[in-house]
Structure 1
């Protein structure tokens, strides 16, 4: 009886673990862009909002490549809050 309970608990743990693995792999990992990186962009899915500050800030773009894989890349951009007067 103890063996049966141990097997049931072990099976439940592996099912829960498999669910966590699936959830973790469904979201693309954020890749850091560096100057000269080659990106295979077939379709832009989303762009992050650029804050109204006058400094360099991180931004993200999620895109789909020509094989249908989604990627998220983080890059640096100048904020939209700089005055030109």
Structure 2
């Protein structure tokens, strides 16, 4: 019975690390997404994360997670040209 308690405590202590790794891989995952439209004003003070589309071809979706000048975090989705060519 005591071994089960120890194993349970170890597994419980590792759970926050798993969630932290997910946040590193997908920053801003819990934030609501704002769809960008042409001419939209964004109050960007600091970019926290931006999608890397350098290996993609054509128009692809991208995300940017940023902080505004009041320290609030936002996530915006927009379309951009990928950085790769179809010739490779």
- TM-score bracket, shorter-length normalisation: 0.5 to 0.7
Partners of 2:59 and 2:44 lie apart in 1 by: 24
C-alpha distance in structure 1 between counterparts of 2:31 and 2:39, whole Å: 21
2:56 corresponds to = 53
- 1:12-31 maps to which residues of 2 (within 5 A)? 27-31=30-34
Aligned residue in 2 for 1:67 = 70
Unpaired runs of at least 5, structure 2: 1-28
2: CA distance between counterparts of 1:42 and 1:81? 29
Query: Following the alignment from structure 2 to structure 1, what is the Cα–Cα distance between the partners of residues 57 and 86?
Result: 8
Aligned to 1:40: 43
User: Gaps spanning 5+ residues in structure 1: where?
Assistant: 1-25
Aligned length: 59
| Structure with the greater alpha carbon radius of gyration | 1
Question: Partners in 2 of 1:54 and 1:82 — Cα distance?
Answer: 6
**How many Å separate the matches in 2 of 1:60 and 1:51?**
13
Misfit runs of 4+, over 3 Å: none
The TM-score with structure 1 as length reference comes to: 0.62
